[in-house]
Amino acid sequence: MTLLLTVFAAVAATVVWYKKDQDGSMKTSLLCFMFWGASIMWLVDAVFEYAELGAGYFTPAAADMLNDAFLGLSVIALALIVWVAVLLIKDPKGRVKGVLFRKKS
Amino acid sequence: MACFLVPTAEALVISAVKKAESVKEKKNPGASGEAKAEKIPFSRKLSWLTGLLWGGAFLLAFEHVWHGEVVPFFPFLTAASNPEDAAEMLHEMATTGVTMAAAVTVVWIGMLAASAIIERRARKAREAKEGA
């Protein structure tokens, strides 16, 4: 479930990067790298688990599936927080700088 | 248990190589103009690999914290507290961890192949434009 959610997040981030971030100013490539990197690594983990459990890998207990889904959503939230933090720190469009140094009239 | 440490170690090494490569590229800029625009510097290609490795290892580290395998106090890895678990952890690093790092590297090699095709197409288009 974690792998599945991360793959969906990776595909969504890649589509946004391709369609909306031509100049790279929104730093969506960071999200793509995080999600694709984690997806590849969890895929390898899944293959090893499948080799150990066999078909049982595809019939997890409901509690395990819920925990994995919760973990997957938390991973996505963490990656989004990192991305927003990097975006605000690098401030490629100068929005934060503009707000901080705006003079009150 | 600690499989993410192998991609992290690879990320550290590749980051150092990338730094050295970008210093070398600044000293020897090479081609200029349109020819330069269609040639992707190797340091940039290396940054794709470091991005995948650091990004993936970071999210995997979070998963290990989630499962209580990484803790914020010494020895930081719960499996390192007794020899039996430590042996199992090292075995997992040698199998799953190494395969993870290798899989990311294979995907990166695929990205290099795709970018080489795109670079070749751009060069051919420029040459055709110059020839016309």
Contact in structure between B52 and A37 (CB atoms under 8 Å):
yes
Taking residues B93-111, what's their average pLDDT? Answer: 96
Establish whether this prediction's ipTM goes over 0.85.
yes
Q: Which residues contact B6 (CB under 8 A, 6 or more apart)?
A: B93, B97, B98, B100, B101
Tokens of A101: 């140094």
Taking residues B1-24, what's their average pLDDT? Answer: 93
- Residues in chain B whose beta carbon is closer than 8 A to a beta carbon of chain A? 3-4, 7, 48, 51-60, 62-63, 66, 95-96, 99-100, 103-104, 107
Q: Which domain holds residue A69?
A: 2-100
The total of structural domains in chain A comes to 1
Contact in structure between A9 and A30 (CB atoms under 8 Å):
no
Residue A105 forms part of a structural domain: no
Taking residues B69-91, what's their average pLDDT? Answer: 88
Average pLDDT score, chain B = 90
Q: What residue ranges do the domains of chain B occupy? A: 5-131
> DSSP label at B93?
I
Residue B2: predicted pLDDT = 86
Taking residues A79-91, what's their average pLDDT? Answer: 95
A43 touches chain B (CB under 8 A): yes
**What confidence tens digit (pLDDT) does each residue in B60-75 have?**
999 999 999 988 888 8
How large a percentage of chain A has pLDDT more than 90? 75
**What confidence tens digit (pLDDT) does each residue in B16-47 have?**
999 999 999 888 876 665 566 678 899 999 99
Tokens of A68: 């994995």
Closest CA to A35 of A50, A51, A16, A22: A16
Interface A-B: count of C-beta contacts within 8 A: 75
Taking residues A2-19, what's their average pLDDT? Answer: 96
- Cα B77 from Cα B72, distance rounded (Å): 9
Q: Which helix (H) or strand (E) holds A27?
A: none
Crossing angle of the two packed helices A62-90 and A2-20, in degrees rounded to 10:
30
Long-range contacts of B75-80 (CB under 8 A, 24+ apart): B77/B1, B77/B2, B79/B1, B79/B2
A45-60 burial, b at 16+ Cβ within 10 Å, e below that, comes to beebeeeeeeeeeeee
